[in-house]
Amino acid sequence: MSAVDAALTVVDDFEANTSSSVAWQLDRYWTLQRIRRLLRHPNELNQRGLNACAPAAFFRIWFARDPVSAARFACSLLRNGSASIGSLVVAPSQRLRDQNYALLKSVTDAAHPGATPEGADWMLLSALRDSENVLIDYVGEPYTVGDMAAGVTLPSTLCGWLNATNLYSAVANETNVVTVSSQQRLFELIPTSNVDIVLLVNSSFQAGLSPTIPSGQQPGLGGIHIPDHYVLMTAPFARSNDSTWLQMEVWTWGRTVTGWVGYSQFFTKYFGYIVATSR
């Protein structure tokens, strides 16, 4: 039995136990269906309009690398309103768990079409982010001031989540003010079956992305940007022969994006990386 099959059995067992109620204002059947989908296709996990890119990167990695543990976590979270990632207890607020998801989705998507994640995605991402907050509840409301303020995640917090899985022998946080040497280091990074790499960027990092090296034009000026988004590196980066263009492949917002962007432009939107090496 594959790890994914074993993980699906965890979900099947939960669903078969009809006495297992849920601690969220979510449809039990469709939430479990979505969990199954994520176990089979982790790439499809999507934060959509939520300011929850760090939880998204984490769950994208965890569902792919350890689906059985991720399935147990998701089912426990749905049933009990809390669950554990190793020794880390994820216990979101009652305010979040009392959110009427169907109503939230209806209202939010009327103003911002497609902004609300699928129910299981919304639960997972919001719960992990809210559990870390002390002063401000994270209540999973896309495109609101509260979502932007309460959804901020520091690189050290993301490292803590990765370490909590007990999958890694080392998790290195190399997010910082980018120098020439750290730019060069980016081209030495190679995601593999035992290495996960998360990049800290500005959310506009893929502006101007082209499937091929643009011909007859120069990339625009980089400007000044702040770090506000995490993406999962899925292939090594490469430079064009004249170092004017950079080829990237990363996972973000529920899909893999690939193409060429301006070299100097990208590095005004790049703020380092986290490398997690498995045991």
In a domain, 58, yes or no: yes
Look over the chain and give the mean of its residue pLDDT values, rounded to a whole number: 93
How far CA 107 is from CA of 31, 94, 104, in Å, comes to: 20, 21, 5
Q: Which of 133, 156, 179 is the last residue of a domain?
A: 156
In a domain, 163, yes or no: no
Which tens digit of pLDDT belongs to each residue from 55-105? 999 999 999 999 999 999 999 999 999 999 999 999 999 999 999 999 999
In a domain, 149, yes or no: yes
Compute the distance between CA of residue 150 and CA of residue 137 in angstroms, rounded to an integer.
7
Domain check: are 10 and 113 in the same one? yes
The residue among 61, 67, 115 whose CA lies nearest residue 231 is 61
Burial 46-63 (b: 16+ CB within 10 A, else e): bbbbbbbbbbbbbbbbbb
In a domain, 127, yes or no: yes
Domain count, the chain: 2
Q: Which of 4-13, 117-126, 143-152, 163-172 has the lowest mean pLDDT?
A: 143-152
In a domain, 162, yes or no: no
Q: Which two tokens stand for residue 4?
A: 């994914």
Domain check: are 121 and 176 in the same one? no
7 Cβ contact partners less than 8 Å away, ≥ 6 residues apart? 39, 67, 68, 70, 71
What's the pTM?
Answer: 0.95
Q: Which of 103, 121, 156 is the last residue of a domain?
A: 156
Element (H, E) at 61: helix 53-65
Which tens digit of pLDDT belongs to each residue from 202-239? 999 998 889 988 876 666 666 788 999 999 999 999 99
| pLDDT at residue 3 tops 80 | yes
Q: Which two tokens stand for residue 103?
A: 């109503």
pLDDT score at 177: 62
Compute the distance between CA of residue 248 and CA of residue 269 in angstroms, rounded to an integer.
13
